[in-house]
Structure 1
């Protein structure tokens, strides 16, 4: 994804360092999403951050959140946090750097490494704190659908009101659904696909991802230059057809495009089923039912399909419409920058 146009100077620049992307935002319009497979190249993170910073607006200070500590290149999440902190500090140069925690605090690199699990997977908290502002005094929910995961966060009294703090706690409560619109393997989403009046079991292989389904359904655009796919072939409808056909050990000569469209619809419906189950679990635990739903992430279309199915009398607020699609894709980074700017006032 191309970044928005850089601005000459920003007081703060936020980084959201994930396992597959490094996202940046300054809270006043600049946002960029740079692919980076951290689990493959952990030793190159400092260099990647340096390159990202060189293309971003100059900033007096950096604020950082992360989810990349979960990558399996690290023995523990604590090790992952310490590695990401060290890489960020190396790349930061003479800029001041603060790290965001799930208690809402900005802390030094020393404090982040001393209490690594507070810095781990903290980006959802920053986004929820900003999303809560759009609910005013009403109870609400944030539904953020990204490439890999979906967050469903209760918002009460203009603040986040999540039951969980760690990823594990949030998965147990339904507040984190480890399923997204690009990177989720199809075999992790469905066990069967519809084929000629029968349910065909899928191969337990990394042959296709949800991105292929949403490409065929017209929710994601083709990008022939993007080869970050299951088979390393271009992100085109023709190649997605092949990848989805392979999920039932077939190919495009055996399975038609119409049939793979049926596959895609089945994948979408199964993801909506899973998100609906989590939605109901989260709502059941709230002291009052939500009146406002705040949507974000480039998978917002999936959340909208859920809301159409539920047909509830809810006020819907879209961060994609409010912030624009590029910034919304980098929503946690943008939210973190807003929180940091508020702290400077």
Structure 2
């Protein structure tokens, strides 16, 4: 059996050979069926790509994803926010990937909050209260701060920054998509160029110098106007706000869920484990933690099959 997580930007597959991550921007007409074609056998699937704005409604996206997957892999079942598997496109399939992770981890980590920081979002999941998580939509998760819409790579820097302080001067920022969170994390040394797996805002190079140029544009400047130090200040202030926003959500979940510890997963796992002084899931399950929902839905399906 394989596990599949279909996001709006990335397709993640886990099989016996390991983790396979494909850049798959659905809003640009990415060939999902072609990417799935090499994978054979039965599949357990989760999704969040139904929210891509190429679909007029989420149910339209669900129907398209289910149909496309079943065309490539007929023996596919889809995990929903009711914690059940389905073979038909039902509304509850929308954004159930995080719940599959919780379902897989809830017994072994029953005293923990899971922080899964990906390219686009951070999931904050109190594993102490699994039953209360069922049925939550992304809107409700945003309201509860279980979904924090900022990530390691694809976040527009200007979504968190309204202004920056450059050498003591408060400077409002442009809201154009000049720089991404990947640029900030690259220049701060949190990621390597190879980790910059999404397109850059200007379709330019994925180097530190190019990232610094993009960060300077956030304040409508060139590097020769504010210097590399000025661009670094933009990156640092973005990161300060990002870690504070995510950290606040984690603290809230710890308190409200009566949890005792935090575990981290996703491409931001190591960074946030250092910030929060906690362990990463990779220390327990290895590289599959980078594609946790895909791995989790596979394991949940296998467990249930073993019990039947």
What is the TM-score when the length of structure 2 is the normalising length? Answer: 0.93
Whether 1:272 and 2:233 are equivalent positions in the alignment is no
Structure 1 residues 76, 225: closer, same or farther in 2, change over 3 A? closer
- Stretches of structure 2 lacking an aligned partner (at least 5 in a row): none
Please state whether the residue corresponding to 1:254 is helix, strand or coil: helix
- Check the 8 A contact 1:19/1:39 in 2, yes or no: yes
Say which of 98, 101, 106 aligns to 1:127. 101
Give how far 1:106 is off. Answer: 1.2
Structure 1 residues 120, 246: closer, same or farther in 2, change over 3 A? same
Whether 1:156 and 2:128 are equivalent positions in the alignment is yes
Please state whether the residue corresponding to 2:27 is helix, strand or coil: coil
Please state whether the residue corresponding to 2:127 is helix, strand or coil: strand
Say which of 139, 143, 146 aligns to 1:172. 143
- After superposition, the CA RMSD in angstroms is 2.1
- Check the 8 A contact 1:245/1:255 in 2, yes or no: yes
Structure 1 residues 303, 162: closer, same or farther in 2, change over 3 A? farther
Which aligned runs of 4 or more in structure 1 are off by greater than 4 angstroms? 224-227
Please state whether the residue corresponding to 1:63 is helix, strand or coil: strand
- Output the CA distance in 1 between the equivalents of 2:128 and 2:96: 19
Please state whether the residue corresponding to 2:177 is helix, strand or coil: coil
Give how far 1:160 is off. Answer: 6.1
What is the TM-score when the length of structure 1 is the normalising length? Answer: 0.83
- Check the 8 A contact 2:81/2:134 in 1, yes or no: no
Please state whether the residue corresponding to 2:223 is helix, strand or coil: coil
1:314-329 maps to which residues of 2 (within 5 A)?
316-325=278-287, 327-329=288-290
1:27-176 maps to which residues of 2 (within 5 A)?
28=16, 30-41=18-29, 44-50=31-37, 54=38, 56=39, 58=40, 60-92=41-73, 95-108=74-87, 110=88, 113=89, 115-116=90-91, 118-135=92-109, 138-156=110-128, 159=130, 161-162=132-133, 165-176=136-147
Say which of 233, 244, 247 aligns to 2:218. 247
- Stretches of structure 1 lacking an aligned partner (at least 5 in a row): 1-11, 309-315
Residues 255-285 of structure 1, C-alpha deviation per residue, up to 9 Å, x if partnerless? 2222222221111110112112322333343
Structure 1 residues 259, 160: closer, same or farther in 2, change over 3 A? farther
Aligned to 1:293: 262
- Output the CA distance in 2 between the equivalents of 1:133 and 1:261: 43
- Check the 8 A contact 1:134/1:294 in 2, yes or no: no
Please state whether the residue corresponding to 2:108 is helix, strand or coil: helix
Give how far 1:97 is off. Answer: 1.1
Give how far 1:147 is off. Answer: 0.6
Aligned residue-pair number: 306
Give how far 1:140 is off. Answer: 1.7
Whether 1:336 and 2:297 are equivalent positions in the alignment is yes
